[in-house]
Amino acid sequence: MIIYGRNAVNEAIAGPRNVHRIWVTERGPDADWPSQIPVETADFQALEKRCESPDHQGVVAEVADFVYTDPAELLAVKDALLVVLDEVQDPRNFGAICRVAAAAGAAGVVIPRHRSAEVTPVVCKVSSGAVEHLPVAQVRNIADFLADARDAGFWSHGAAMEGAEQWDAVDWTGPVVLVMGSEGKGLRPRVADACDRLVALPLAGRIESLNVSTAAAALLYEAVRQRGA
C-alpha cells in the first residue's frame, strides 16, 4: 500500500506495520528516518503521481497492507468504548472518525465488509495516522455484531434523529458501542432496532443535520466527559 502525508508516514513507522520504502522531496520533512528503511529523493510531481494526490506534504511511503482486527478481540476489552459505522462510505468521513475515536480513547472501530469505506491511503492521511494505532475490524453483518456485543455486556447507542433521547441523557460509562449511520440515510432499520437506545444531538439553528464525523466527535466527547477520561 502507498500512503502519504507527514503524520500518516510517521505514525506508520511508529506503529506495527512494516514500512518498506520512503520517498521525499528535497524540501520535504527533515526527519530522522529509521536506518533500515530505504529513503529516496523525488520531485513533487513524481510523488503526486506515485500516491495519486497533491496532498502528500513532500513524503510518500510504501507500507504493508493494513491488517484488520478480529472483532471478538474488541468485545473482550474490559469497559471498552467502541465505534460502529453502518455503511459510512466517504473515506474522509471514515478517516476523520478514526482520528477522533483514537483521540477519545476508543478501543476500536467496526465496519461492515461491504458497502463501506475501508482503510485506504486517503483514510490514513485524513486520520493523521490514527489508524496505525486504532484497531479496525470488519464484520459481515452490523446487526449481528451488535447482538454479540449485547451478549458480551455492551450497551449500544445509535445516533438518530427521530424517536431519540438527548445525547447526554444516556449512560456512556462501562462497555458501550456508539453506532453511526451512513451519510444521508443514517442507520438502517435493522441496525437501529439492534441498538439499545437511540440518541440525538440538539440542532438549534436552521441546519437540519450534522456531518457524520462531526456528530461522532460530539457524541464521543460526551462519552469522554462521563467516563472521566
Closest alpha carbon to 41 in 53, 27, 51, 56 = 27
Task: Tell me the mean pLDDT in the region 9-34.
Answer: 85
Distances in Å between the Cα of 141 and the Cα atoms of 44, 63, 66, 179 are 42, 29, 21, 13
Q: Do 105 and 210 belong to one domain?
A: yes
Q: What does the radius of gyration of the chain's CA atoms come to, in whole angstroms? A: 19
Q: What is the CATH number of the domain that holds 47?
A: 3.30.1330.30
Distance CA 85, CA 87 (A): 6
Q: How many domains is the chain built from?
A: 2
Confidence of residue 32 (pLDDT cuts 50, 70, 90): confident
Q: What is the CATH number of the domain that holds 159?
A: 3.40.1280.10
Q: Do 93 and 150 belong to one domain?
A: yes
Q: Is the pLDDT score of 28 beyond 60?
A: no
* Tens-digit pLDDT profile for residues 113-124: 999 999 999 999
- Evaluate the CA torsion angle 6, 8, 11, 15 in order and state its sign: negative
pLDDT, position 171: 94
Task: Tell me the mean pLDDT in the region 76-98.
Answer: 96
Neighbours of 98 (CB within 10 A): 31
Q: Do 75 and 58 belong to one domain?
A: no
Contacts of 207 (CB under 8 A, 6+ apart): none
Contacts of 32 (CB under 8 A, 6+ apart): none
What is the rounded average pLDDT for all residues in the chain? 92
Contacts of 145 (CB under 8 A, 6+ apart): 71, 84, 110, 139
Domain boundaries, position 6: 2-63
Confidence of residue 161 (pLDDT cuts 50, 70, 90): confident
Q: Do 157 and 54 belong to one domain?
A: no
